[in-house]
Amino acid sequence: MPTLRIAIPAMDELDYLPVTLAALSKQDSVLPFEVYVCVNQPDIYWSIPEKRSICENNQKLLDILPLYTNLRLHIIDHASPGHGWQGKKHGVGFARRSLFDKILSECDPNDIIVSLDADTAINPHYLQSVSDQFKQNPGMNALAVPYYHPLDGRDETRDRALLRYEIYMRNYAVNLLKIKSPYGFTALGSAIAMRAEALRKIGNITPLQSGEDFYLVQKFCKMGGLGLFNTECVYPAGRYSSRVPFGTGPAMQQGANGVWDSYPIYHHDLFFAIREAYGKLHDLYENKLSVTDNDFLVFLQKENDKPDIWEEIRKNVSDFPHFVKAFHQKADGLRILQYVRTKHRKQPEKERTALYDNFQIWLPDKCPEWFHPTRSFFQYSPEQLNSLRNLLFEEEMTLRSGYG
């Protein structure tokens, strides 16, 4: 029987982690589970007055964690004086790496690692739902779990920023799932589960200060066996934050000031060339398709140093299925995002109507009467934005269930 290994990084989470641990104590999981918490911050924070409160909160957290005797709890201390991160090697990516290293050093190959965040709410059936997915799908190596951000209801500015950011993420994911991209995932560190042996095979997580979750899930995409559907969601807290360069916290912080340049709403026609390239891979394999005939292929060629990347791949694969796999190794999630961003910058005027146009294509029968292409996000109430978020969530869940 496998064991579930729950990995939680925690920095300045004294107010949130106890709630998450309480939720874990109420799980109805048939499988046994153990919880690993990495309390962390750079060691230099002890000598920076404005960072001192983070250190003190971390120490309080370290003091109370041993009191959770109802959980099989493992504590990794990267916060006490002399134990914090040194130099540039710090941040959530290093905390997750430390957690995964500890787990891999003592787990069985068939154990399941569940990545959470310290501010993530889960229902009592969450762990059981994850283990059920792995049991029902023996070829699944990892799972990008669905997510849903709860609204505060007391701070309209915060709720608006959170809804705008989540609509950005869901709009992008639905676009990718609609064109049947193998990279149609959304990566949140609080919403990933994986087989321990699969994590070992891909060389563990790359410890970055931000974006480590994206690159981890992308590794699983390239390995194969990534699932997207689960009957339960995780519910991450939406908070203003500048602890990482990008992600939910920084996006909300920028968005509260009306700055959304880094998180645009992409129009569905930006993905046409990608879909077209997918449909013509056999012609590309047979060398019957000129790279210049497809804008996405032109972009991929420019991003590589070799004069003809496809000819090199043809010479190194034995058949068409291996060519397709090699193509998607090159045309990965990062390249797709870079391409869409590049194309978006050339037609910024379409962003104003992008979400409306996308709804007309995806959900024409469900598009609300009050949703109009000439109105900006700031002209809708939080309730209306939440309605749009929920429609995208439902569509995304339907597409997730058919993924793979």
Residue 154 domain-assigned (yes or no): no
61 plus 200 within the same structural domain: yes
Closest to 173 in 3D by CA, of 189, 162, 184, 163: 184
Is 212 within the bounds of a domain? yes
Give me the amino acid identity at 304. N
CA distance 386 to 369: 15
Last residue of a domain, one of 341, 368, 393: 341
Please tell me whether residues 193 and 113 are part of one structural domain: yes
CATH (domain of 123) = 3.90.550.10
For residues 215 and 110, state if they share a domain.
yes
Q: How many domains does the chain have?
A: 2
- Asked if residue 19 belongs to a domain, the reply is yes
DSSP state of 151: P
- One domain for residues 78 and 137: yes
Give the per-residue pLDDT at 260: 67
Which run of H or E residues covers position 39? Answer: strand 33-40
* Domain that includes residue 68, residue range: 4-147+186-232
Q: Which of 341, 365, 388 is the last residue of a domain?
A: 341
Q: Please tell me the distance from the alpha carbon of residue 331 to that of residue 356, in angstroms, as a whole number.
A: 28
Q: Give the tokens for residue 364.
A: 């024409």
Residue 71 lies in a domain: yes
- Let me know if residue 51 belongs to a domain: yes
- Boundary-marking domain end, from 177, 210, 232: 232
CB 75 within 8 A of CB 62: yes
DSSP 261: T
Closest residue by Cα to residue 100 from 197, 236, 205: 205
Could you tell me if 130 and 15 lie in one domain? yes
Q: Whole-model pTM?
A: 0.94
What integer pLDDT is reported at residue 336 of this predicted model?
A: 98
In a domain, 404, yes or no: no
Q: Would you state the pLDDT for residue 267? A: 96
Note down pLDDT in tens along the chain; length 404 residues.
Answer: 899 999 999 999 999 999 999 999 999 999 999 999 999 999 999 999 999 999 999 999 999 999 999 999 999 999 999 999 999 889 999 999 999 999 999 999 999 999 999 999 999 999 999 999 999 999 999 999 999 999 988 888 889 889 999 999 999 999 999 999 999 999 999 999 999 999 999 999 999 878 899 999 999 999 999 999 999 999 998 765 666 555 676 666 676 667 667 789 999 999 999 999 999 999 999 999 888 889 999 999 999 877 789 999 999 999 999 999 999 999 999 999 999 999 999 988 888 899 999 999 999 999 999 999 988 888 899 999 999 999 999 999 999 999 86
Whether residues 74 and 121 fall in one domain = yes
Q: CB–CB of 299/339 below 8 Å?
A: yes
Query: Using CA atoms, how far apart are residues 348 and 328, in angstroms rounded to an integer?
Result: 28
